[in-house]
Structure 1
């Protein structure tokens, strides 16, 4: 089983940058504590205000599925709905 890397790029709605950033920050500690999480970091664009990126690596597909099913992830998705203008998620494997 190959590790799965996720690049999740979020663009905040105008005026919602701080709110989105705060909600994304809340995801880091509980996600890092999950079994199967190899890396979970939050980044902010230096070129575009309000653009944030989660860079995540999960041990395998099962670990990623478990992450998406967690209560903190489900709460996060619900809370950011009104804050996000654009959401792009890329699932990657090393080649």
Structure 2
């Protein structure tokens, strides 16, 4: 499994547009073959910081995702929405288990 975690600081003046784009990105991405999960959240300490957590079955699914139209539209719009540099971390996971609380 491949996991990607992105932190995206958004200019408050462009927050509504960013939310719209990220909502579409998440919905469309979850429908892709090989996508286990795709979630966008807001940071509880700063509502203009978004976190995207993506889980893919494998490298091929991730590669297909970055070639989709909805990802391309988001990537093209992103520079004008930002209020700082995004950070993106990739994790290659050999196994994962649920944690009981």
TM-score for the superposition, normalised by structure 1: 0.90
What are structure 2's unaligned runs of at least 5 residues? Answer: 95-101
How many angstroms apart in 2 are the aligned matches of 1:22 and 1:51?
14
**Equivalent position SS for 1:39:** strand
> Which of 72, 75, 79 is the equivalent residue of 1:77?
75
1:47-75: CA deviation from partner (whole Å, max 9, x where unpaired): 01300011110011111010001111111
The aligned runs of 1:1-95 (5 Å cut-off) are 3-85=1-83, 86-94=85-93
Deviation at 1:32, TM superposition (A): 0.4
Larger Rg: 2
**Equivalent position SS for 1:34:** coil
What are structure 1's unaligned runs of at least 5 residues? Answer: none
| Greater fraction strand | 1
Point out 4+ residue stretches in structure 1 off by more than 2 angstroms: none
How many angstroms apart in 2 are the aligned matches of 1:14 and 1:29?
23
Contact 1:23–1:80 (CA under 8 A) maintained in structure 2: no
State the Cα RMSD in Å. 1.3
